[in-house]
Structure 1
Amino acid sequence: MDGTDDYRDHPVRAYVITSGRAHPSRNTIRPETLLVAVPGMPAPVSAGRPHLALLEMCQGVLSLAEAAAHLKLPVSLVVVIASDLVDTGHLLIRSTSPRYAQPDRDLLEKVLDGLRKL
């Protein structure tokens, strides 16, 4: 993609791009979700231009919000597109940190000691 495409001016409506779906198949994809394309995976046969553009730009790790900005599409639409590509195994979701990560006990004790000294 050379950066000159602006999908907002394209005559195809957003609901056509997503086959009429307004909601993704997964509710775990948020604007800050990091996406990366699966290396060596051929593009889906039925992929449209926005799907292919998203796959191309996600060769490195990219947040969904950044991808939406580059594609000049609403985040809600890119969530549906990304969800499709995750479902077909073309995109992976990367997390910056696990939700359930336990903080280091020593660090917590140092913070507690510091608070007690106040």
Structure 2
Amino acid sequence: MSGPVRPYVITGGRSRPSGPDQELALESLISVDPAVLIDELLQRQPGLNREHRRILLLCRELLSIAEVAAHLGLPLAVVKVLVGDLRDLGAVQVLPPAVPPVPQAKRLPATLLEEVLVGLRQLR
């Protein structure tokens, strides 16, 4: 089988990051801890794969999870799992998104929508 590696192989069958604060937003910013020596980390942690190494190399500059996924050509869910692994090892810092999430819009009452519809019909 010479095709591309399936995402579940890259993540070891996991679909969500482990550890505290499991949810990682796609806007979360990732930065490699400057004190981390990548080659030394990879020798100490034999479970890290090629994609982990690529993330460490990419994130020497501040990047979002979405940008990392685009650079690697991997699905967002896979990158979130891999970043979660690196976060749990203390190799990367995950910063919250710079912009707070927009609250969900309030649902308008049906009576208001009916009044607007009646008004539009009267314009004919």
**Letter matched to residue 5 of structure 2:** V
Q: Distance in 1 between matches of 2:70 and 2:4?
A: 19
**Letter matched to residue 15 of structure 1:** Y
Pair 1:11 & 2:4 matched: yes
TM-score, normalised on structure 2? 0.65
Residues 14-70 of structure 1: CA deviation (Å, up to 9, x unaligned): 111111111111433110000001113133332111110011000011000000000
Structure 2 unpaired stretches of 5+? 101-124
User: Percent identity of the aligned residues?
Assistant: 37
RMSD (Å), alpha carbons: 2.1
Q: Distance in 1 between matches of 2:98 and 2:64?
A: 14
TM-score, normalised on structure 1? 0.68
Pair 1:28 & 2:26 matched: no
Per the alignment, residue 107 of structure 1 pairs with none
**Residues 97 and 14 of structure 1: CA distance in aligned 2, closer, same or farther (over 3 Å):** closer
Per the alignment, residue 89 of structure 2 pairs with 88
Aligned pairs (5 A) from 1:1-118? 11-25=4-18, 26-42=21-37, 43-44=41-42, 45-46=45-46, 47-95=48-96, 97=98
Q: Alpha-carbon deviation of 1:98?
A: 8.8
Structure 1 unpaired stretches of 5+? 1-8, 100-118
Residues 56-105 of structure 1: CA deviation (Å, up to 9, x unaligned): 00001100000000000000110000001000101101235596xxxxxx
- For the pair shown, the structure with the greater C-alpha radius of gyration is 2
Q: Distance in 2 between matches of 1:20 and 1:68?
A: 18
Q: Alpha-carbon deviation of 1:11?
A: 3.5
- Return 81-90 or 15-24, whichever deviates more: 15-24
